[in-house]
């Protein structure tokens, strides 16, 4: 069932509004989930060592309510309206005047823009809901990896199973291509990881990267994995060299690879067919 037809302003407006609301929630997930993981790790370590952790307030995606990190004053609902509240407050806390990071409205705007484009392209339907869910997962993974060099399993594996499920449902990629894409994506980076480790004794990437490429392979099919890998490696190399040139990082300093895989995956989903057809046409000359 389609609520709004594709290529209509109503579909785009609905997608943007919905995306802004979802983007506000994604800010919470990006900020809190790594802390929740760290608390869980500490609890598990304490349990193994038969130690007791000091009691702490519950901390999850719903509790406690949003507060200013400096003055700890609760953020009122009218100061939590996506993008608009940040603009009206002039990027400052109402209580203490502490600067509010521009990243909050950036993520909200990004999510709104992506959802708006998807709604415009596909209309408000079951298919676009699946793509919106994938977009939300990738945005969360992008920024968590950027901040903490972590790709949490609940998000990568959810994206993987969502891609395989969509293939069963009748998505643009057949189930066979999706399964092979997931297997090949994981095995490729797994092989690169072990070859690099055997040659250098160092770990070049984490297991989360394997799972992320497996998830992207399930969404694009194995045929487009080379496009994802080349786009990700190319963008990562360019950024790494640029940061070294600007002296923002030192040679050998690790940078997260997940954001580049996500960029490569998005490029492939949008322009992969055009890129491959252009390449084969050039090769046939």
The phi-psi region of residue 90 (left if phi > 0; otherwise alpha if psi is between -120 and 50; otherwise beta) is left
- Rounded to the nearest angstrom, the gap between the alpha carbon of residue 210 and the centroid of all alpha carbons in its chain is 15
Cβ atoms of 23 and 107 closer than 8 Å: yes
Q: How many C-alpha atoms does 179 have within 13 Å on its Cβ side?
A: 4
- Entry pTM: 0.92
| Residues paired with residue 99 on neighbouring β-strands, in sequence order | 92
Element containing residue 76 per DSSP (H, E) = none
Of the listed ranges 209-213, 227-231, 258-262, 276-280, the least confidently predicted one is 276-280
Nearest one of 166, 178, 252, 271 to 216, comparing CA atoms: 178
Q: How many C-alpha atoms does 18 have within 13 Å on its Cβ side?
A: 20
pLDDT in tens, 150-196: 999 999 999 999 999 999 999 999 999 999 999 999 999 999 999 99
> DSSP string spanning 234-271?
HHHHHHHHHHHHTTSS-TT----SHHHHHHHHHHHHHH
Residue-range domain boundaries for the chain? 1-150, 169-285
What is d(CA 4, CA 64) in angstroms, rounded to the nearest whole number?
37
Mean pLDDT of the chain: 89
Q: In which band, very low, low, confident or very high, does the pLDDT at 277 lie, cut at 50, 70 and 90? A: confident
- Tell me which residue has tokens 């799972």: 211
> DSSP string spanning 162-223?
HHHHHHHHT-SS-HHHHHHHHHHHHHHHHHHHHHHHHHHSS--S-HHHHHHHHHHHHHH-GG
* φ and ψ at residue 62, rounded to 5 degrees: -110, -25
């Amino acid at each position: 069932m389609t609520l709004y037809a594709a290529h209509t302003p109503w579909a785009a407006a609905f997608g943007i509004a919905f995306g802004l609301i979802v983007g506000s929630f994604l800010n919470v997930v990006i900020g809190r989930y790594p802390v929740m993981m760290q608390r869980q790790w500490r609890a598990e370590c304490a349990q193994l060592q038969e130690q007791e952790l000091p009691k702490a307030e519950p901390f999850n995606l719903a509790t406690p309510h949003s507060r200013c990190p400096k003055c700890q004053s609760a953020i009122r609902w009218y100061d939590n309206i996506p993008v608009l509240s940040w603009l009206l407050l002039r990027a400052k806390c109402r209580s203490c005047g502490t600067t509010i990071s521009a990243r909050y409205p950036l993520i909200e705007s990004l999510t709104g823009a992506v959802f708006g484009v998807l709604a415009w392209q596909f209309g408000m339907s079951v298919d676009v809901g699946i793509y919106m869910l994938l977009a939300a997962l990738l945005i969360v993974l992008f920024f968590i990896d950027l901040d903490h060099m972590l790709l949490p399993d609940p998000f990568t594996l959810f994206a993987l199973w969502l891609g395989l499920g969509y293939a069963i449902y009748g998505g643009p990629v057949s189930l066979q291509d999706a399964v092979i894409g997931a297997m090949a994506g994981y095995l490729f980076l797994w092989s690169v990881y072990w070859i690099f480790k055997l040659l250098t004794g160092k770990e070049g990437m984490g297991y989360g990267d394997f799972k992320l490429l497996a998830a992207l392979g399930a969404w694009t099919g194995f045929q487009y994995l080379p496009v994802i890998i080349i786009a990700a490696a190319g963008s990562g190399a360019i950024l790494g060299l640029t940061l070294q040139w600007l002296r923002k990082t030192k040679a050998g300093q690790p940078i997260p690879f997940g954001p580049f895989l996500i960029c490569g995956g998005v490029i492939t989903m949008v322009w992969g067919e055009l890129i491959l057809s252009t390449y084969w046409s050039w090769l046939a000359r």
